[in-house]
Structure 1
């Protein structure tokens, strides 16, 4: 599935099928949270959280693609990612865009 951040696909016409989205909520693990807290004291990248969010982004994108496939889409344009805090220690990652049929 072609996923683009642009609102058009140069050289191709598109038929919009609708909004598609995928989301996931991830919480910190107490073990990695302790290591991350210690790393926070000395500075640098908090790899435990970076890995957690990278996995969450991929899962949200995969869910968005599944929804687009269910609509019979060939591509998703205008793809975006957002994050929000649900509670202390838990975040939601949302992927959304417009499912299109290429013509």
Structure 2
């Protein structure tokens, strides 16, 4: 699956528009890792527990978007975007979305 943030795929021609596709997930960290992350805010530095959580969430959301696009018969997604939002304390949603197309 080709995924681009642009409205076209360089060197390819869009043959068919399949439509809007998206994938999302809401992730939270284990309480033990939340405690470690809280301690890290005191001393400063990267909060690796949350970096890992957000990376995992992005991969899940993109994977779900790709599955939806494949289900429509697409072989590419153009205009892909990622968005995140806090849905409650210590839990974040990631959504990946774009336009599923067939390119040649």
Instruction: Using structure 1 for the length normalisation, give the TM-score.
Output: 0.96
- For 1:16 and 1:99, locate their aligned partners in 2 and report how far apart those are by CA, in whole Å: 6
- For 2:46 and 2:10, locate their aligned partners in 1 and report how far apart those are by CA, in whole Å: 38
Unaligned runs of 5+ in 2: none
1:33 aligns with 2:55: no
- For 1:43 and 1:77, locate their aligned partners in 2 and report how far apart those are by CA, in whole Å: 38
Partner of 1:69: 70
1:16 Cα deviation (Å)?
1.3
| SS of structure 2 residue aligned to 1:5 | coil
| SS of structure 2 residue aligned to 1:53 | helix
| SS of structure 2 residue aligned to 1:11 | coil
| Alignment: residue pair count | 103
Partner of 1:92: 93
Unaligned runs of 5+ in 1: none
Deviation beyond 2 Å, 4+ runs, structure 1: none
C-alpha RMSD of matched pairs (Å): 0.8
- For 2:10 and 2:50, locate their aligned partners in 1 and report how far apart those are by CA, in whole Å: 37
| SS of structure 1 residue aligned to 2:61 | helix
Instruction: Using structure 2 for the length normalisation, give the TM-score.
Output: 0.95
